[in-house]
Structure 1
Amino acid sequence: MKPVHGLYGRRAECDMLDRLLEDVQAGRHAVLVLRGEPGEGKTALLDYMADKAANSRVIRISGVQPEMELAYAGLHQLCMSMLDHIDDLPPPQRDALRSAFGLAEGAAPDRFLVGLAALTLLSEVADARTLVCLIDDFQWLDRASAQALAFVARRLVADPIALVFVVRSSGGEPEPDDGELVGLPELTLTGLDDRDARTLLASAIPGPLDERVRERILEESRGNPLALLVLPTDLTLPELAGGFGLPTSRSPTSRTSRIERCYLRRLGALPPQARQLLLVAAADPVGDPALLWRAAAGLGLTADAAAPAEAAGLLTVGTRVRFAHPLVRSTVYRSATQDERQRVHLALAEATDRQVDPDRHAWHRAAATAAPDESVAEDLARSAVRAQARGGAAAAAAFLQRAAELTPDLTLRGERAVTAAQAAFTAGSFDMAYELLSTAQMSPLDGMQQARLERLRAQLAFALSRGSDAPGLLLHAAERLTPLSLPLARETYLEALMAAIFAGAGQLEPEFGARTVAEAARAAAAGSGSLSSADLLLDGLSAQFTEGFAAAAPTLRRALEAYRASTGGLTWVCLTASLVAAEMWENEAFLNLLDTQVKAARTAGTLNLLPLALDYLGSYYIQAGDFAAAAALVEEAASLDAAVRVAPPPYTPTILAAWQGDQARTAKLTQDGIQDAFPRGEGSAVVLTEYAGAVLDNGLARYSSALASAQRATAGDNLVARSWTLSELVEAAARAEQPGIAAQALAELTERTQASGTQWALGIEARSRALLSEGEAAEQLYQEAIERLTDCHMNAHLARAHLLYGEWLRRENRRADAREHLRRAHDMFTLMGAEAFGERARNELLATGETVRKRTADSGLDLTPQEALIASLARDGRTNTEIGAELFISPRTVEWHLRKVYTKLAINSRRELRDATIDAGLDTVWVPSQGSPPG
């Protein structure tokens, strides 16, 4: 087959790259992950794409192994030519990018805010000319850059930008993890077919080739283009022509090592000075010719040393220093002795200005050091501080790991290893954190360091699996910290209690359950003085699990007030406080806590917990009857999950599907949630799916099934689920003619609602009590429930109060009165999209003699949840840049969504949005950061 631009057998791959470029030229985005073993032609395909993208702005970078520990080095390389646009970014993004690149001092930026800044910057540049970004050897990028670029790839929607990532697949030995790209479109290169392989081999060998030699080369190369070009150079001309001297058998080796052997032959033929210069270039990740020549001069090398390497086709020294292939660089570096590497790194350290680039200076100096050396270790520790300030937790961990290795004092070594492990944990490098903890464990740690180590080991267990192991580990760590640092101990007790709450429920109750942890926490009282919000939360939750809900309520209410007054960011503890608000039916605190946390996370770009916060906020809107807002939040959380790879449990999607009456989706989400939860021992997932089942079955009037689900959900003490499910249990038991079960559930519900005292709580109590009452008492309770639930805007529960009252009135033969409330319930359920409850209201209306047509909720002329969200933000005066910053998409993507909104609403501009959204029923769509609930 005729080669495409010199690429044999790659026509299909070239066609795919052509289509990507066509998409970009048409104003669409394109993302591709190109995988393959070394030598399969990945870099050659990038060359092809760069040549074909003549009408676009092409930026090409490559990851290199020695630079993997320098935070944002790869992203800086990509963005370097675009920095003249940095002042056009929104201030938080601009400052984050400047800090990440070391252009300004400031607080450590969140890695996702850096990713958003990079997305906005690329979008800004692409506004003038389509942009093609080619990232070779992605697996060797520093982790911070890899995460940022993967984030950008997942958030591109309507930007004329192509991102092509090249990833080296395992070829004989494992490569660094490239899991950041999982889920993106992929193309895996395989070897050439036999015909193309023979043609390429023939083009590489102009002379005669013995048939047996040809077959041997074809067999060993297995279609790998680089192998076909390089393997023959391992043979002499007589061997190629007649096979004389060809070994009859060889030890089995991978293609990668065979290709490396061929490069080694070329290296062996070079003069010593040329080989040493190649080693300097391989050890320097920057590719700066000036730095190369400074280091070479320090080793006594002259400019003539480059000529043989360039003549051999291994290296090119121009405006940048480039190897012919990544395998050349790795072969050169791996083939050198330890002493040779150390001499070269020392020369690079001396050639690097420690004032301008102190971190690379420290890293090269460390690579040149074999024995422990405190001065080198101290330099690395300082570099770790700078890396942490730039948001490079992974880089900080790497610097500290090497610092620990070079620390002569065993005690200090252990302390640095623990600190490095904490940085690795923060960066999400859990394997590295465990390895560092093992290193620390072998050092003579003092009591405090040992306690910190144990706490971190427990935190790792909770992060990896929200299951039954974590509570006991965190509890032991808290007990160890108690005599050493009471504040840190109480923080750990709270973490242990959170872990126990997450894990414990029903048959999945862990060995160290919430009550056990709470009793231990109460023994570690905070002492005199003012209590922090975390102290109040710990004391309140401990009281709840030891003395009961009523005893805990005053302290929990104080904790909620303290959290509402605080200005802190989004943390696990803050999320726990929001769950307490939900359990206490504190609707204003529930909303405001999550609103504040989501707004802070959006502003700071702290996306680690934002998907979970959005999930929780969606659950508020379900209770408030705004399913459209809940769906928009669920969709946003799901899109962020894909970008940040932090997937929350599907609690809110399952609950939303149940309230909507979607049996198939509820069943699917329930099955997935339980299958995921059982292996980890995550009881909260099981409980919340049972709550969703009770809601669904009550809506469908399947009361026996609802009763069974509600009883399972209330079998253990779980935040939120127990309080919310008790009212479902009362309704199911009352309708299933189980008055004893209903009365018992009502008694517990009343204890909680009276302790809460909110309109939401008392409205739920009145509605539930009415189900077990008769005559005038029942009617007064239904009316009280409607009044209270109207006041607090909890419309899903208000609609159910109208439904139950209407059902009661019909059974009292008051059909006219019943129609009023049943019609109101039917209209509300239809508007919010609660189909099962809406059908239940419709059937009751039919029983009163009224004709009712089946209706479905107006979906805002088929706007998607995200389109509705963007429309409401634009309606309220937000600019595209502001909307993009809030939703973590580019301004161009916002405009793309708005054009679709205009088409669906048959309008032409923002000026017409307000009237159009009201007409489409979208005027109630509320955005979390607007700061006030719908009402």
Structure 2
Amino acid sequence: MASSSPGRGLRGRRGECVALDEVTAGARAGQGQVLVLRGEAGVGKSALVEYLVRSATGCQILRAVGVESEMELAFAGLHQLCTPLMGRLDRIPGPQRDALSVAFGLRAGSAPDRFLVGLAVLSLLAEAAEEQPLVCVVDDAQWLDQVSAQTLAFVARRLLAERVALVFAVRTSASAAAGDQFAGLREIAVRGLHDDDARALLESVVPGRLDERIRDRIVAETRGNPLALLELTRGLSAAELAGGFGRPDARPLASQIEESYLRRIGSLPVAAQRLLLAAAAEPVGDVPLLRRVAERLDIDADAAGAVEAAGLIEFGTRVRFRHPLVRSAAYRAADPTVRRDVHRALAEATDSVFDSDRRAWHRAHAAVDPDEGLAGELERSAGRAQARGGIAAAAAFLRRATELTPDSAIRARRATAAAQAAFESGSPDAALELLAAAQLNPLDEVQHARQAWLRAQVVFARRRGGEALLLLLDAAGRLERVDEAQAREAYLDAIGSAVFAGRLPEHADVGEVAEAARTAPPGAVPPRPTDLLLDGLVTWFADGCVAGAPLLKPALEAFRRTAGGNGDDAMRRLWLTWLAAGELWDDEAWYELSTHAVRTARDVGALNFLPLALGYRAAMYVHAGDFGLASTLIDEADSIIEVTGHSPMSYPAMLLMAWSGSPRAEAVIKSGILEAASWGEGRAIGLGHYLLTVFYNGFGQYQDALTHGEQAVEYEDASNVGFALAELVEAAARSGVPEVAAGALRRLEERAGASGTDWALGVLARSQALLSDGPAADRLYREAIERLEHSRVVVQLARAHLLYGEWLRRENRRFDAREHLRTAHEMLRGFGAIAYAERARRELLATGETVRVRTVDVHELREALTAQEGQVARLAADGMTNSEIGAELFISPRTVEWHLSKVFTKLDVKSRNKLRAALAGI
């Protein structure tokens, strides 16, 4: 593919080459670079990667190639890329070094968290780039194992001030989930060549005369795909090219290209075909291993020369195929018996001590008949894979172990274990398939029960509405007879499912589910935190808050104690303990549980858990009046969700929008209500109406607030209805419907009394004051302020000052009113609760006080800093070093310094010791 553009080296790729040159230049200049080359098979992505490697003079090059057969082996692609840097492991922080060492099998240890592994890779690349700019290229990235793809995408999104470039070549049509991990990164669509370039390329490789009509047909059929232009004409005679094609093949282009490789492979000597098959089946590209295999298969040295001469493969320090389709063509074309012989030879040639898992994998592919010894070995490999954090690999080992198990009872057990691993690795379809396979075998009562529970969990994870509810109740009933502890866990899941299903009529009411859960076996002695939580929630939903509160309080206390030690239970059940704390208006439990959750998730790098923890922490900060930090945490959670592909967590963002008075809040929340109805999550409907009530009360649109407030309290949505009742009291009182306000107040009095926290009693006193007059109202407003001053829920304290000031003004106590209105205005304005602050400003004007308009709006100043800049600035103001900030936020110290330079400019400060004062006004 000689170029007509000097210095570019590739025909028709000037724009792509310029972009790649810019990537290299940016890395040399200390600006982290990321580029995804996305296109169909054969379009020239690999050629562009080679151009990048050749042109990156003065840079260290790291390379990896995705291998389809290794997609289930966790960290395989990452290991390829990072192997040249292993000598630098001792230069990165200890926890990161340990995580990466376990992931790569360099040392034993518990499963490393993927988030911590991602940070280790980022640190490793950044450290290497300090000596020499680093260019990392990953070809066929769609075939990376999922863990490697997630990790590299995580790193790519955090490259800012490092001398590192990451370039991924991804096939457009790939169905592999790995290719989707790079969505949202800067990318170039690599398309077929323009007709003129395609014709010139075709004519350069076709000997003899090429009929113009035939040439144009080839160009049209291949759509300018360079590999297709080169490959589809090979093996065709000059007469065929000059005289015409047959009917165009309707198969996809990749299949056409693979067909041309199949023809070329078929023309090779048998020994050469077998060598090519062995190379295709051995994904690491280990040349010494391949030589040992060739000896076992009696393949002579001439075979290597034949496959190289055919332009299909290269033997250097590593085996490299001309194109991935050569690998797939060689493997698929082989007779199954020959394929098994090759895998058997690979197993025999693989070290049984240092690479026992890959040896077992090859033996499994060589096996025909059931083999308990081999199945057991695969099961042990699955255990080792899971210990390294390779859940997907464990599922693959267990699946094959299931297929090779002769005993039907053991086969059922392994199929169930494979299903569990598949579910945990994020493959619910595979989990259900394996559960179905397990049911083809005789199952005992224990297996039936545990399978039912797993199937229900899969359904609940896919759709958090009530679809899983009946399945969870059935599983709980089955488990009662075989495993009492797991039965209680399943009932707890069922209550959670009913909570999320909420008001939707097609599902059982949460009270009915609580009554069903009363039949659960008694808990352990002494009770586990989950036992206390189940008993508390059953009583709360079946008998009411007055009876339930005394049981829920010790349950929350138990989880708070657990959070201080081994917090696995505390993390796993956070989604329910958070709701229980909300029901009890327990802001201290909220604070402690969310603080522990975020801290622990950061310490261990819990990528799957951290977004949930950050979301709950963000909600806590909204209630605490720190909207800026809440926004930062929401952004961080969103960025992690983007990497992992988890379901988005919309509540914290909508809560912030409602309190901020964002112009977008109304449309976003109403849209969320409609979506919640469609996906079957009734609780989210009530939550949306509550948030709209908060929003409309801020703007003084009390009739709209009343409408949505009444809808919010129609159903006992967990951790929602109590807050909504307080909003409804205000909306109804201001709308002139005291009977509605009085009814809401009676319900609020019962809930707040059961709670007994300063938050609950402060909001209750404020609500009672709205329906009182004279000295009683004055006393209640003062009580509300005094109680709320002892809570963390500062936004409600500001609301109490606002309502008290409004009442004082109507009582013609203007001087007293100004004090509270001024306090409310300053607090609300400082939070960023613009609508509520405007209410306070209008009231101040009505007292005759002139409200000075600030020249620099707090909201505008906060938004001048990006989310990450704000977080870096806060940590730096707290005295943390760049290295400590980098470890906290999963970025490199160089990136921390880059962010700080921008913060200093925007806030007009010269040093760190000025940051705290500058941030105090934001």
Structures share a fold, TM > 0.5?
yes
Say whether the 8 Å CA contact 1:107–1:389 is kept in structure 2: yes
Distance across 1 between alignment mates of 2:338 and 2:688: 61
Which structure 2 residues correspond to residues 472-511 of structure 1 after superposition, within 5 A? Answer: 472-505=470-503, 508-511=504-507
Stretch of structure 1 that moved more, 818-827 or 333-342: 818-827
Please say if 1:87 is aligned against 2:90.
yes
SS in 1 for 2:858: coil
Please say if 1:63 is aligned against 2:66.
yes
Distance across 1 between alignment mates of 2:217 and 2:621: 68
Say whether the 8 Å CA contact 1:763–1:789 is kept in structure 2: yes
Offset of 1:510 from its aligned partner? 4.5
Q: Which residue of 2 aligns with 1:185?
A: 186
Offset of 1:59 from its aligned partner? 0.8
Offset of 1:870 from its aligned partner? 1.5
Q: Which residue of 1 aligns with 2:222?
A: 221
Offset of 1:519 from its aligned partner? 0.9
User: Are residues 106 and 125 of structure 1, via their aligned partners in 2, closer, same or farther at CA, if it must alter by over 3 Å?
Assistant: same
Please say if 1:530 is aligned against 2:532.
no
Q: Which residue of 2 aligns with 1:514?
A: 510
Q: Which residue of 2 aligns with 1:731?
A: 730
Distance across 2 between alignment mates of 1:867 and 1:583: 35
Distance across 1 between alignment mates of 2:183 and 2:674: 22
SS in 2 for 1:155: coil
User: Are residues 315 and 803 of structure 1, via their aligned partners in 2, closer, same or farther at CA, if it must alter by over 3 Å?
Assistant: same
Superposed CA RMSD:
1.9
Say whether the 8 Å CA contact 1:503–1:510 is kept in structure 2: no
Distance across 1 between alignment mates of 2:525 and 2:259: 71
SS in 2 for 1:755: helix
Say whether the 8 Å CA contact 1:649–1:685 is kept in structure 2: no
Offset of 1:729 from its aligned partner? 0.8
Q: Which residue of 2 aligns with 1:887?
A: 889
Q: Which residue of 2 aligns with 1:615?
A: 615
Say whether the 8 Å CA contact 1:291–1:352 is kept in structure 2: yes
Offset of 1:7 from its aligned partner? 2.0
Please say if 1:142 is aligned against 2:145.
yes
Q: Which residue of 1 aligns with 2:131?
A: 128
Distance across 2 between alignment mates of 1:407 and 1:75: 32
Offset of 1:31 from its aligned partner? 1.9
Offset of 1:26 from its aligned partner? 2.4
Say whether the 8 Å CA contact 2:480–2:521 is kept in structure 1: no
Stretch of structure 1 that moved more, 246-255 or 508-517: 246-255
Say whether the 8 Å CA contact 2:146–2:178 is kept in structure 1: no
| Alignment counterpart, residue 537 of structure 2, candidates 538, 541, 546 | 541
Q: Which residue of 2 aligns with 1:34?
A: 37
Offset of 1:772 from its aligned partner? 1.0
Please say if 1:164 is aligned against 2:163.
no
User: Are residues 517 and 155 of structure 1, via their aligned partners in 2, closer, same or farther at CA, if it must alter by over 3 Å?
Assistant: farther
Distance across 1 between alignment mates of 2:519 and 2:109: 41
Q: Which residue of 2 aligns with 1:636?
A: 636
Distance across 1 between alignment mates of 2:427 and 2:320: 31
Distance across 2 between alignment mates of 1:254 and 1:616: 47
- Aligned AA (2:606): T
SS in 1 for 2:135: strand
Say whether the 8 Å CA contact 1:861–1:904 is kept in structure 2: no
Say whether the 8 Å CA contact 1:471–1:513 is kept in structure 2: no
User: Are residues 827 and 222 of structure 1, via their aligned partners in 2, closer, same or farther at CA, if it must alter by over 3 Å?
Assistant: closer
Stretch of structure 1 that moved more, 154-163 or 298-307: 154-163
Distance across 1 between alignment mates of 2:738 and 2:250: 77
Q: Which residue of 2 aligns with 1:591?
A: 591
Please say if 1:203 is aligned against 2:169.
no
SS in 2 for 1:164: strand
Say whether the 8 Å CA contact 2:488–2:523 is kept in structure 1: no
Which structure 2 residues correspond to residues 164-563 of structure 1 after superposition, within 5 A? Answer: 164-170=167-173, 178-240=179-241, 242-243=242-243, 248-249=246-247, 252-505=250-503, 508-527=504-523, 529-563=525-559
SS in 1 for 2:299: coil
Offset of 1:196 from its aligned partner? 0.9
SS in 2 for 1:22: helix
Say whether the 8 Å CA contact 2:214–2:245 is kept in structure 1: no
Unaligned stretches of 5+ in structure 2?
Answer: none
Please say if 1:661 is aligned against 2:658.
no
Please say if 1:98 is aligned against 2:101.
yes
Offset of 1:247 from its aligned partner? 6.2
SS in 2 for 1:716: coil
TM-score by length of 1: 0.95
- After superposition, the C-alpha distances for 1:206-262 in whole angstroms (9 at most, x for unaligned) are 42234454344334323111121122222123434x43xx66446533332332232
Say whether the 8 Å CA contact 1:169–1:175 is kept in structure 2: no
Unaligned stretches of 5+ in structure 1?
Answer: 926-935
Say whether the 8 Å CA contact 2:459–2:467 is kept in structure 1: yes
Runs of 4+ in structure 1 displaced over 6 angstroms? none
Please say if 1:21 is aligned against 2:24.
yes
Offset of 1:283 from its aligned partner? 0.8
Q: Which residue of 2 aligns with 1:683?
A: 682
Say whether the 8 Å CA contact 2:524–2:531 is kept in structure 1: no
Distance across 2 between alignment mates of 1:618 and 1:321: 50
Q: Which residue of 2 aligns with 1:152?
A: 155
Which structure 2 residues correspond to residues 710-749 of structure 1 after superposition, within 5 A? Answer: 710-749=709-748
Please say if 1:902 is aligned against 2:904.
yes
User: Are residues 77 and 737 of structure 1, via their aligned partners in 2, closer, same or farther at CA, if it must alter by over 3 Å?
Assistant: same
SS in 1 for 2:664: helix
Say whether the 8 Å CA contact 1:459–1:474 is kept in structure 2: yes
Offset of 1:177 from its aligned partner? 5.8
Say whether the 8 Å CA contact 1:41–1:225 is kept in structure 2: yes
Distance across 2 between alignment mates of 1:26 and 1:208: 50
Distance across 2 between alignment mates of 1:832 and 1:255: 57
- Aligned AA (1:743): A
Distance across 2 between alignment mates of 1:528 and 1:365: 45
- After superposition, the C-alpha distances for 1:351-392 in whole angstroms (9 at most, x for unaligned) are 001101001100100111122211221111111000000000
User: Are residues 130 and 404 of structure 1, via their aligned partners in 2, closer, same or farther at CA, if it must alter by over 3 Å?
Assistant: same
Say whether the 8 Å CA contact 2:825–2:840 is kept in structure 1: yes
- Aligned AA (2:226): P
- Aligned AA (1:471): L
- Aligned AA (2:797): L
Say whether the 8 Å CA contact 1:504–1:510 is kept in structure 2: no
User: Are residues 285 and 792 of structure 1, via their aligned partners in 2, closer, same or farther at CA, if it must alter by over 3 Å?
Assistant: same
- Aligned AA (1:555): L
Please say if 1:696 is aligned against 2:692.
no
Distance across 2 between alignment mates of 1:563 and 1:8: 64
Offset of 1:539 from its aligned partner? 0.8
Please say if 1:807 is aligned against 2:806.
yes
- After superposition, the C-alpha distances for 1:291-342 in whole angstroms (9 at most, x for unaligned) are 0000110111222221111111112111111111111111111111101110
Say whether the 8 Å CA contact 2:370–2:405 is kept in structure 1: yes
Distance across 1 between alignment mates of 2:199 and 2:733: 80
- Aligned AA (1:38): A
Stretch of structure 1 that moved more, 901-910 or 425-434: 901-910
TM-score by length of 2: 0.96
SS in 2 for 1:20: helix
SS in 1 for 2:188: strand
Say whether the 8 Å CA contact 1:870–1:894 is kept in structure 2: yes
- Aligned AA (2:172): S
Distance across 2 between alignment mates of 1:530 and 1:187: 60
Distance across 2 between alignment mates of 1:891 and 1:528: 48
Distance across 1 between alignment mates of 2:287 and 2:209: 41
Offset of 1:854 from its aligned partner? 3.8
- After superposition, the C-alpha distances for 1:828-883 in whole angstroms (9 at most, x for unaligned) are 11111111111111111111122223444363593334323222212223222322
- Aligned AA (1:77): Q
Say whether the 8 Å CA contact 2:293–2:349 is kept in structure 1: yes
User: Are residues 459 and 527 of structure 1, via their aligned partners in 2, closer, same or farther at CA, if it must alter by over 3 Å?
Assistant: closer
Say whether the 8 Å CA contact 2:690–2:708 is kept in structure 1: yes
SS in 1 for 2:37: strand
User: Are residues 908 and 430 of structure 1, via their aligned partners in 2, closer, same or farther at CA, if it must alter by over 3 Å?
Assistant: same
Q: Which residue of 1 aligns with 2:846?
A: 847
- Aligned AA (2:307): A
Please say if 1:769 is aligned against 2:768.
yes
Distance across 2 between alignment mates of 1:218 and 1:793: 69
Distance across 2 between alignment mates of 1:105 and 1:610: 25
Distance across 1 between alignment mates of 2:918 and 2:41: 59
